Structure 1
Amino acid sequence: MSDTANPNPNPPHPPIINYILSFLLVGFAWGFTTPFMRAAARTYKPLPTPEDEASKGWVKRKLGQAWRAIVGLLKNPRYAVPLVVNLTGSVWFFLLIGKAGRIEPDGADC
């Protein structure tokens, strides 16, 4: 039987510099985009409330206002683009953490 049939159960780990650069990119994605999202949210002008909202109950009015605010922000590229970069950083972070090996008490990697 050939060796290609049984893949290596312990593949080589990437160099530590890859992890360092990856975590720096995650920090950049989180830290650099937050001020842009805050500025876009601070200057955001919500969409006007439709006239038929007045006849609805207080809870439905508030939910409608919240929904319009969320949709309005997501349609605003000044907010949406940094949000996508920020969320991409979160995905990178969880992928990096998922690849991190667990250290056993005796010092052996799992």
Structure 2
Amino acid sequence: MILAALFQLWLYFEYKIERWRYPRHISFGSVSYLPGGLVLKYTSTTLGRRDAEAEALRYVREHTTIPVPRVYASVEGYATRFVLMERVKGDCLEAAWHKLDDTQRDAVVDQLRGFV
């Protein structure tokens, strides 16, 4: 119980330090890249969101061959949902998509279709 509370407090301070170091416009979610290949994602709980993202990632990981990050922890505190997960190696498709030619895009679509 104490360990969980300390973990929530650490996540909250990581979140506040990240906001101070890299001020951004107001958004509904942010990501911090941590040492050791970890990612900390935090979103506001004021919109009534549940732990749907972490649950979905766990389900997809256990029931499909789709490569998704392993979720290590998902906690809520200080009006914020924190999800600690592994960082997946590779390029972000959103950033790479415009650089791909039609043949490469078709190959990506076929690969994604194969997962479903």
Bigger Cα Rg = 1
Higher relative contact order (CA 8 A, sep 6+): 1
TM-score, normalised on structure 1?
A: 0.28
TM-score, normalised on structure 2?
A: 0.27
Q: Which has the higher strand share?
A: 2
Q: Which has the higher helix share?
A: 1
